[in-house]
Amino acid sequence: MSGELSPIDRAKFVAAKRAVDFVEDGMRVGLGTGSTAAWMVRCLGELVRDEGLKIRGIPTSTRTAELARQVGIEVTSLDEAKWLDLTIDGADEFDDELNLIKGGGGALLQEKIVATASDQMIVIADVAKQVSNLGAFPLPVEVIPFGWQTTKALVEETLVSLDVLGRETTLRMNGTSPFVTDEGNYIVDLHLNRISNARQMALVMNQIPGVVENGLFIDICDVVIIGHGDGKVEIRDINAGTVNEERIDFVDNDNLFADI
């Protein structure tokens, strides 16, 4: 398997492989959305199949739920689980304080709800996702469809008073139609280039009528596991103030990964 992967995919895989070591029998685990999170779901499925791990997974999107069921993970809802032991998810960007931009896959609302309902959030990412200042990746803002153009205009007006390098906003599309989230909403992507005060941005965006949620995850992530293409992983724990490096061996034959 490893010989067929690009360096980026190898980095995602080793981060995911290390992250599932945090999962213990009987846990309620939030399952993130995106390409890196998909590796994690498959790694968990491997543990369920080969080692008899018993967990309940709470997915953050319909596609994650489908994948989890395919690999044998018991899936339940957040309403049923009520509170989670752990959430493992990817990120589009993270900074030195482990603040994040998420939502590139369009699941930011469910991802934030699940992450904040967890005792711990672990983010898995390749090293390219690390930035000194958030904002190079477009910031997703989920808005209700009713009056979305008015909401978009209010967002643009608000950006004038914020310290950002860019102010272009675009409605996310799916072909010729607006992209629609699992909750039936639209996403406006903010092309800011740099966000000087992410905490302020997160608070201000959510005060705009029509905005449901934004993709800034502030003070939510506890641990980031950074994967590298050579199998090295770096584990940063913001609460313990520790940084550790390890190396993950690749697995060359596993049918859970055959279609990636």
- Which positions are catalytic? 111
Q: Of 20, 18, 140, which is closest to residue 68 (Cα–Cα)? A: 20
35 is annotated as contributing to ligand binding: yes
The reply to whether 34 sits in an annotated binding site is: yes
The sign of the dihedral angle between the CA atoms of 133, 110, 57, 64 is negative
169 annotated ligand binder:
no
227 assigned to a ligand binding site: no
Sign of CA dihedral 131, 132, 136, 141: positive
Helices (H) and strands (E) in the chain, counts: 7, 17
- CB-based burial label for 12 (10 Å; 0-12, 13-18, 19+): buried
Tell whether 222 is in a known binding site.
no
Token pair recorded at residue 70: 């395919």
Supply φ then ψ for residue 43, to 5 degrees: -65, -40
Lookup: tokens for 179: 């992209």
The reply, when asked if residue 90 is annotated as ligand binding, is yes
The angle subtended at Cα 110 by Cα 226 and Cα 192, nearest 5°, is 65
- Known binding-site residues equal 33-36, 89-92, 102-105, 129
- Known binding-site residues for substrate equal 33-36, 89-92, 102-105, 129
